[in-house]
Structure 1
Amino acid sequence: MALYSDKVMEHFLQPRNVGVIEDADGVGEVGNAKCGDIMKMYLKIDDDIITDVKFETFGCASAIASSSMATELIKGQPVED
């Protein structure tokens, strides 16, 4: 049995939306001291809609994959959600 699903491996090997938004409207950073993972996410917001999102993650396969997956879910959503 595989440790990670095919979808998780796809996002780990080919992550989406990696990078920095220099003029971001919002930046969040979170880390886990126990395992050493660190994730920074940048948001561009226009009329209360997240129009662009990028991330930088230092960590394991699941941390990178979940960051990539999150960006796909977040983009286009209202800030309120």
Structure 2
Amino acid sequence: MARVVRFHSHGGPEVLRIEEIEVPSPGPGEVRIRVRALGLNRAEASMRNGTYIETPSLPSGLGLEAAGFVEAIGEGVAGFA
């Protein structure tokens, strides 16, 4: 299980929820990262408000810029440890 910040409707910070989700194993060509830090920027605030160039499908999450450790790799992945 992992904690994520998501929103199910557009609006201000009050629409944000911390939720627990099941994290699947990485598929072919994918890596799973255990996030240690993430950044939130103006574009993500605009997505949450519904005023960004693109409209995310709901529910949507925040934290597209992240740093952490490679926790698992999928089939065919090379160069990560």
Task: Sort the TM-score into its range (normalised by shorter chain).
Answer: under 0.3
TM-score by length of 1: 0.24
Higher strand share: 2
Relative contact order, CA 8 A, sep 6+: which one is greater? 2
